[in-house]
Amino acid sequence: EPCDSTQPSGPAMTKQELLRYEKDDFSWSTKLKQNLKDVFQLSKFRPLQLKAINLSMSGKDLFLVMPTGRGKSLCYQLPAVCSEGFTLVVTPLVSLMEDQLMYLKSIDVEAVSLNASSSKEHAKMVLAEMTDTKAPFKLLYVTPEKIAKSKLLMSRLEKAYNAGRLSRIAVDEVHCCSQWGHDFRPDYKLLGILKRQFPKVPLLGLTATATSSVLKDCQKILCVPEPITLTASFNRTNLYYEVRLKDSNSDDSISDISTLIKERYKDQSGIVYVFSQKDAETVSADLQKKGLNASPYHANMNPEDKSQVHRKWATNKIQVVVATVAFGMGIDKADVRFVIHHTISKSIENYYQESGRAGRDDKPADCIVYFGFNDIFRISTMVVMENVGQQKLLTMVDYCQNVDRCRRSVIAVHFDEVWKDEGCNEMCDVCRHGNDYITVDITQHAKDLVQIVELAGSLDEKLTPLKVTETWMGKGPAKRRKMIQTTTLSRLEVEAIITSLLLQGYLSEDFSFTPYTTYFYLKLGRKAPLLKNQSHSITMKMRRTGLDANTVKVSQVKTKGKRSGVNAANSPVTKKVKKDL
């Protein structure tokens, strides 16, 4: 049962007091530095790592909130190596555990694990070694259900604790404790037993996403009386975020990109991310033709070529790497001035990580993404097999389609970070060109599109997004054109409306698989039936720049075919929306 320390604990330390923990004059400081270099083969700490490690080495309980990939594991692995006895690490997934064990093995740090698939002999050996002062392991990884269900493990931990061998407890993905978090795991609820049984052992909770209310909940569940919380912000203040529309009719993104690089980023280093290996080759060749010093990089190149490209880029002999996401591991060039996405990323997390390779030196840098309608579906077919892949892709689409929220706030909210609007400082296109959008009623458009999709369904046909677009624009077979309502909106507007209906759930994705390809279609979304309701209306926000048509046109239904004499009372309304002051 959870402990009853319901009182919120006050700030355990002031900022001033915390500063002390960034220093390196502790009794363990030399040892830390040496092991960081010799064992972990790292030259220096990343932000917050040293502070977290010093706090934990001082015996404090700590919650560490840091974006994925920033290096949370080191914050318990290095203390483990520098302490007597062993560190108990609770991890939610066996696969995470295996990754860690493999990594630790590669750097010669002794670690063991206990999970549902451990053999009896292995478990017996581990349990015996827990109290053996000569046992070599520094880290013991367990799944939460082991703590919850194995009395034997708890009693061995008790013995180890009494013998002073349990040096630290790390709870990875600590947000799993809370039902309000996004991946609640029931067994995490029972981890309060650790701090109740072993009150003198410092606990370190790690997570990439936790609001303060989730952390409060975790604190209660884990029975940690007064934890210190260190939060690394997701806000990279020196990065400028921008989204540019890619026109399906005349994709001039390449010439746009080359102009940018020649003018704005002259002699500066950067990355252009593309969707596929083929794109890496072609986009790179296109940029070369325009006189740029660019090279492709993708997983299918041989290792020597890859490392040569990387090396030449790192030493500024190549200005631009045109890369797939394979270009990522071990990239820590400090002076990357631009990261341009020729195609959107498959999720906000991915985008944050990829674009985050810009401006590591804290000087201004730009993150620009080109957003094209067709790319949504190219990526969709790729992520369809991934768990929640589709949903994550739509978060990225939402980031791009968005015209009224600060880009930073979209990212921050995605990571559950509390966001203050002044945090942007006009360092994104939305804030800089604020107010540049209109709200339009798209109810009738939605009805037209639903009719097109329904009609196809009744003919036992499936329509790709391209087909839907063309049919609505009146480019379908004549026979079909008679039965539906077509539109004179521009292609960009049509695509924006379909995208919005996809995001709002009036349309949704449908797949069909062959052994060779995945086909992507549009079908009615879960909210489509609402359109039958006369009073139901749908709006969307559209940016004004980038639309070639004048904005009024968007709001007026100019249709061919049977509804030519549109009733003014039904015609959608355009509202200009003032940005909240």
Residues known to be catalytic: 72
| Cβ count near 58 (within 10 Å) | 13
In contact, 144 and 174? CB cutoff 8 Å = no
Taking the least distance from each CB to ligand ADP, the nearer of 45 and 240 is 45
Tell me how far, at minimum, the Cβ of 438 lies from ligand ADP, in Å. Answer: 41
Alpha-carbon dihedral sign for residues 439, 441, 445, 446: positive
- Could you tell me which stretch among 198-206, 368-376, 406-414, 559-567 binds Zn ion (CB under 5 A)? 406-414
E-only strand ranges, 5-160: 62-65, 86-90, 111-114, 139-142
- Could you tell me which stretch among 69-77, 116-124, 408-416, 489-497 binds Mg ion (CB under 5 A)? 69-77
Residue carrying structure tokens 């949704």 = 508
Per CB under 6 A, does 175 bind ligand ADP? no
**DSSP secondary structure code for residue 9 in this structure:** P
The site map against ligand ADP for 562-581 (x = CB under 6 A) is --------------------
- Could you tell me which stretch among 5-13, 299-307, 405-413, 446-454 binds Zn ion (CB under 5 A)? 405-413
Tell me how far, at minimum, the Cβ of 72 lies from Mg ion, in Å. Answer: 5
Closest CA to 175 of 150, 212, 139: 212
The SS3 call for residue 318 is coil
Per CB under 5 A, does 239 bind Zn ion? no
Residue at 132: amino acid letter: D
From 89, 406, 463, 468, residue interacting with Zn ion (rule: CB under 5 A): 406
In contact, 17 and 54? CB cutoff 8 Å = no
Task: Provide DSSP, 409-473.
Answer: HHHHHHTT----GGGSTT-BHHHHTTT-EEEEE-HHHHHHHHHHHHHHHHTT--B-HHHHHHHHT
Closest CA to 334 of 363, 309, 354, 355: 363
Distances (CA, A) of 368 to 52, 306, 338, 354: 33, 24, 8, 11
Tell me how far, at minimum, the Cβ of 246 lies from Zn ion, in Å. Answer: 22
Tell me how far, at minimum, the Cβ of 99 lies from ligand ADP, in Å. Answer: 8
Taking the least distance from each CB to Mg ion, the nearer of 170 and 446 is 170
Tell me how far, at minimum, the Cβ of 279 lies from Mg ion, in Å. Answer: 30
22: left (phi over 0), alpha (psi -120 to 50) or beta: alpha
Tell me how far, at minimum, the Cβ of 248 lies from ligand ADP, in Å. Answer: 37
- Could you tell me which stretch among 21-29, 41-49, 135-143, 456-464 binds ligand ADP (CB under 6 A)? 41-49
Taking the least distance from each CB to Mg ion, the nearer of 73 and 233 is 73
How many residues belong to the site for ligand ADP (CB under 6 A)? 12
Q: Which helix (H) or strand (E) holds 50?
A: helix 49-57
From 42, 326, 382, 455, residue interacting with ligand ADP (rule: CB under 6 A): 42
Residue at 507: amino acid letter: L
406 binds, among Zn ion, Mg ion, ligand ADP, none (CB under 5 to 8 A by kind): Zn ion
**DSSP secondary structure code for residue 327 in this structure:** S
Tell me how far, at minimum, the Cβ of 400 lies from Zn ion, in Å. Answer: 14
CA 532 – CA 328 distance, rounded (Å)? 48
Taking the least distance from each CB to Zn ion, the nearer of 109 and 430 is 430
Per CB under 6 A, does 71 bind ligand ADP? yes
Cβ within 8 Å of residue 165, ≥6 positions away: 84, 85, 86, 130, 131, 133
Cβ within 8 Å of residue 484, ≥6 positions away: 448, 451, 452, 455, 471, 472, 476, 561
195 binds, among Zn ion, ligand ADP, Mg ion, none (CB under 5 to 8 A by kind): none
- Could you tell me which stretch among 66-74, 372-380, 476-484, 490-498 binds ligand ADP (CB under 6 A)? 66-74
The site map against Mg ion for 329-368 (x = CB under 5 A) is ----------------------------------------
Per CB under 5 A, does 369 bind Zn ion? no
Per CB under 6 A, does 73 bind ligand ADP? yes
Per CB under 6 A, does 367 bind ligand ADP? no
Per CB under 5 A, does 498 bind Zn ion? no
Tell me how far, at minimum, the Cβ of 581 lies from ligand ADP, in Å. Answer: 38
Residue carrying structure tokens 């990829």 = 354
Q: Which helix (H) or strand (E) holds 370?
A: strand 365-372
Q: Which residue is nearest to ligand ADP (CB)?
A: 71
Per CB under 5 A, does 411 bind Zn ion? no
Taking the least distance from each CB to Zn ion, the nearer of 49 and 402 is 402
Binding site for Zn ion (CB under 5 A): 406, 408, 424, 428, 431
Binding site for ligand ADP (CB under 6 A): 42, 45-46, 49, 66, 68-74
Binding site for Mg ion (CB under 5 A): 72
